[in-house]
Amino acid sequence: MSTAPDPVPRPLDHLAVCGVDGDAALILREGTLSWKDLRSRVAQLAGWLDSLGLESGARVATWAAKGEVTCLMPLAAARAGLVHVPINPLLKRAQVNHILADCGARLLIGTPARLVTLESGDLPAGCQVVEEGAALAIAYADGREMPPSAADPADLAAILYTSGSTGRPKGVMLSHANMWLGAVSVAHYLGLAADDVTLAVLPLSFDYGQNQLLSTWVAGGCAVPLDYLLPRDVVKACARHGVTTLAAVPPLWVQVLDADWPPESVIPLRRLTNSGGALTVDLVRRLRGTFPQARLFAMYGLTEAFRSTFLDPALIDSHPTSMGRAIPFAEVLVVNDAGEITADGEEGELVHCGPLVAQGYWNDPARTAERFRPAPAASAYGGMAVWSGDRVVRDAAGLLYFVGRRDAMIKSAGNRISPSEVEEAALATGLAVEAVAMGVPDARLGQAICLFVRGSGDADGLHNALRRDLPGFMQPHTIRYLDAMPLGPNGKIDRAALARMVQGEAAQ
């Protein structure tokens, strides 16, 4: 890390040419792909996509567990001039229907068990559906290879859907440059190299999860995607593959720390990274105790700007709750309500500027205008910035500390969950007349979902209906029935009063 990272973006598919032919690039359950294999298969998948006759910029969605299709499609779609839309494999048909319709997908590749759940009318007009096994078989049988692209780095490469505090998930538009520079930035400050092995346990539909692959590959290293069932699966995989890099969110760290870590799983680890929620002092101490030789990187980010800050591991013991400073290629400002840079110790809104800022929300100019606004006058980059809505404080040493969020987003087990999505699902069952979802503190999840309901009182029926309609991470931990919802002066449900009710009970 003695030299600055290269700030010149390239087409995203050029990541396929970063490693050495004979080295491992991707370890799947079915076998290992060398860098030579990776190059060939990305080229053949891109050739097959190109043969489908889709217009430039058409959206290609994948809805499958971690595997060859979900790992290679970000590069193959980019090479074919298409836009990749990764869908969280835990989502159910209602959420998938919204994403496919919103982005106007022209192709959906998925596992048979997921595709069979779709019903008539769930697909946009003209959207082709191909099972992931068939897609690979057809592409590799045809053998047509597309050479590396000459795409404009400013072109759209992916749309990642993320929940907001209100409304349905919105699609964050990421360019080739956003994703390339994000990979270069992370690889640089983590010190990734060609002999590194990254265990990719996070969902590839998230920016943090997808960057597990991209930052590893830009350094010429090897990625091992893993859909784990139990924490011990993570432990075993670390030993089996000599894993050097492990990324997680706080609830996953809590789970894996409860497992037994033999020396063969611990010793190869060089670095641990955390995002998707703040580390607590206790969690930092436990991680440092279990993995004393590994450098622990605390990070903060948001999909709209990929990632904003990281804390130098040398400071983690003395500043365990800090978000650190801006990552390479990011300018992070703390701005007060007057639009001015705050003084040290003064709370303000975190504003992210620079080339990692996304291109806005797909097909949603109103919400784009709320979050993507001109950079503050003090910005060195200027242009459009992401006004995060997160409240932070900067100390005299320039380190940032998270204070809270302006919105009501629920963050559970590393997932950003829109309260209104849970509420709409509850109302749609017919078993609730009114519904309010909110996050409550939970030692393992970060936040658990508490659903307040005015309705029939059929808790079992409501639980069963929500299990049918919502993914597991969106399930309410508690359903509370009220005879009447508290109302504010404007006649709307008083969410603050409900929050105080929960806080009061927790204090007892």
The band of 508, judged by pLDDT with boundaries at 50, 70 and 90, is low
The helix/strand/coil state of 460 is: helix
147-178 pLDDT, tens digit each: 999 999 999 999 999 875 556 789 999 999 99
Q: 2 pLDDT exceeds 60?
A: no
What residues make up the domain containing 428?
411-507
162/341: higher pLDDT: 341
Dihedral sign for Cα atoms in the order 28, 16, 85, 192? positive
Q: Is residue 458 part of a domain?
A: yes
Q: What angle separates helix 459-469 from helix 419-428, to the nearest 10 degrees?
A: 120
Q: 259 pLDDT exceeds 60?
A: yes
Query: For residue 151, with 0-12 CB atoms within 10 Å meaning exposed, 13-18 middle and 19 or more buried, which class applies?
Result: buried
Close Cβ partners of 198 (under 8 Å, ≥ 6 residues apart): 192, 212, 213, 215, 216, 221, 222, 223, 224, 243, 244, 245, 246, 247
Q: Is residue 216 part of a domain?
A: no
The helix/strand/coil state of 179 is: helix
The band of 186, judged by pLDDT with boundaries at 50, 70 and 90, is very high
20-38 pLDDT, tens digit each: 999 999 999 999 999 999 9
The helix/strand/coil state of 471 is: coil
Q: Is residue 240 part of a domain?
A: no
Average the pLDDT over 386-404 and give the result. Answer: 93
Average the pLDDT over 80-91 and give the result. Answer: 96
Q: Which of 455, 449, 450, 508 is nearest to 482 (CA)?
A: 455
Tokens representing 205 are 């539909």
Dihedral sign for Cα atoms in the order 421, 473, 62, 212? positive
Q: Is residue 174 part of a domain?
A: no
Average the pLDDT over 285-293 and give the result. Answer: 97
> What pLDDT, on the 0 to 100 scale, is given for residue 421?
85
> What pLDDT, on the 0 to 100 scale, is given for residue 503?
78
> What pLDDT, on the 0 to 100 scale, is given for residue 406?
67
- 127: alpha, beta or left, given left = phi > 0 and alpha = psi -120 to 50? beta
Structural domains in the chain (count): 1
The band of 132, judged by pLDDT with boundaries at 50, 70 and 90, is very high
- Helices of type H across 16-164: 35-51, 68-79, 93-103, 112-115, 132-142
Q: 404 pLDDT exceeds 90?
A: no
> What pLDDT, on the 0 to 100 scale, is given for residue 417?
87
Q: What H or E segment, with its residue span, contains residue 17?
A: none
Q: Is residue 167 part of a domain?
A: no
Count of C-beta atoms within a 10 Å radius of residue 142: 12
Mean pLDDT of the chain, nearest integer: 93
Count of C-beta atoms within a 10 Å radius of residue 268: 17
Confirm whether pTM is higher than 0.85: yes
Q: 506 pLDDT exceeds 80?
A: no
Check: CB of residue 87 under 8 Å from CB of residue 63: yes
Q: What is the DSSP string of 488-499?
A: -TTSSB-HHHHH
Q: Which domain CATH number covers 417? A: 3.30.300.30
Looking at the chain, the whole-number percentage of residues with pLDDT higher than 70 is 97
The Cα-based distances of 312 to 123, 126, 245, 320, 402 in angstroms read 46, 49, 16, 11, 16
Q: 504 pLDDT exceeds 90?
A: no
> What pLDDT, on the 0 to 100 scale, is given for residue 344?
97
Place of tokens 């983690």: 316
Rounded to a whole number, what is the distance in angstroms from the first to the last CA of the chain? 50
> What pLDDT, on the 0 to 100 scale, is given for residue 452?
96
> What pLDDT, on the 0 to 100 scale, is given for residue 279?
86
Average the pLDDT over 472-479 and give the result. Answer: 94
Close Cβ partners of 214 (under 8 Å, ≥ 6 residues apart): 12, 15, 74, 179, 182, 183
Looking at the chain, the whole-number percentage of residues with pLDDT higher than 90 is 81
The Cα-based distances of 300 to 216, 278, 305, 354, 400 in angstroms read 19, 8, 11, 16, 10
The band of 377, judged by pLDDT with boundaries at 50, 70 and 90, is very high
Q: Is residue 428 part of a domain?
A: yes
Q: Is residue 462 part of a domain?
A: yes
> What pLDDT, on the 0 to 100 scale, is given for residue 75?
98
Q: Is residue 14 part of a domain?
A: no
Separation between Cα atoms, residue 3 and residue 330, nearest integer Å = 17
